[in-house]
Amino acid sequence: MNTSPEPEAERIYVDKRTPKAYHALSQTAEAVRAAAAGAGLDRRLVELLNLRVSQINGCAYCLHVHTRAALRAGETNQRLGVLAAWRETEVYTPEERAALDLAEATTAASGTAAQDTAYAAAREVLTEDQISAVIWVAITINAFNRVSIMSGHPVRATH
C-alpha cells in the first residue's frame, strides 16, 4: 500500500486559460498606471505600493517582477530592503508613508477604523486624484497577486 501523499495537482495558469479576462485586467493596470502618473505619483512609489501589497499577500512572482521594475525606475536597494518594516524607518517621505498605509488598508481590509485612519492621513498629504490612484494601484496588484498565487507562477533562480 502506497502511504506517500498524492502529488500536488498541477495548477492551471488562469491568465493563459482565460486570456480575455487577463487581458482586461492588464488593460485596467495600464489605465491605473496612467492615472497614477497623471496624478503626479512617481513610478518608484507605484512600484513600492506593488511590492508592499505583494509582500502582504505573499506573492513571490509579483515580488520578483516588481522588484526588478522598482530598480529600473530608480529605487534604491536600501529602501527596497526595509520596505516590509517601512514604519520603523526614516527613509520614506510623508507622501510615501501615507500611500503605503492606504495601500495596506486597502489590501488588509481589516476594518473601517484602520481604513479611516489611513484615509485621514492620506488626505493630509495627497490630493484626491493621488488617493484614488493609490487605492486603484492596491486593488489592481491585489488582483494580479491572486492570479499568480492561484496559478502557481514560478520564480526561478537567475544567475
pLDDT at 4 over 60: no
pLDDT at 6 over 90: no
pLDDT score recorded for residue 2: 45
pLDDT at residue 158 tops 90: no
| 130 to 39, 42, 52: CA distances (angstroms) | 5, 11, 17
> Is the pLDDT reported for residue 95 higher than 70?
yes
Cα(118)–Cα(134) distance, integer angstroms: 12
Residue 22: Cβ-neighbour burial (10 angstroms; 0-12, 13-18, 19+): middle
3-state class of 65 per DSSP?
Answer: helix
Domains and CATH numbers, the chain: 18-151 (1.20.1290.10)
pLDDT at 153: 95
Q: Which tens digits make up the pLDDT trace of 100-138? A: 999 999 998 777 888 999 999 999 999 999 999 999 999
Alpha helix stretches (DSSP H) within the chain: 14-17, 19-38, 43-57, 60-72, 77-81, 94-108, 112-125, 128-151
Nearest residue to 103 (alpha-carbon basis) of 48, 27, 65, 147: 48
Q: What is the mean pLDDT of the chain?
A: 93
pLDDT tens, position by position, 130-146: 999 999 999 999 999 99
Between CA 65 and CA 25, with CA 84 as vertex, the angle to 5 degrees is 35
Residue 7 reports pLDDT greater than 70? no
Q: With 70 as the cut, is the pLDDT of residue 9 above it? A: no
Q: Cβ atoms within 10 A of the Cβ of 31, count?
A: 12
| 56 pLDDT above the threshold of 80 | yes
Of the candidates 52, 73, 61, the one whose C-alpha atom is nearest the C-alpha of residue 147 is 61
Of 126, 124, 104, 138, which is closest to residue 41 (Cα–Cα)? 126
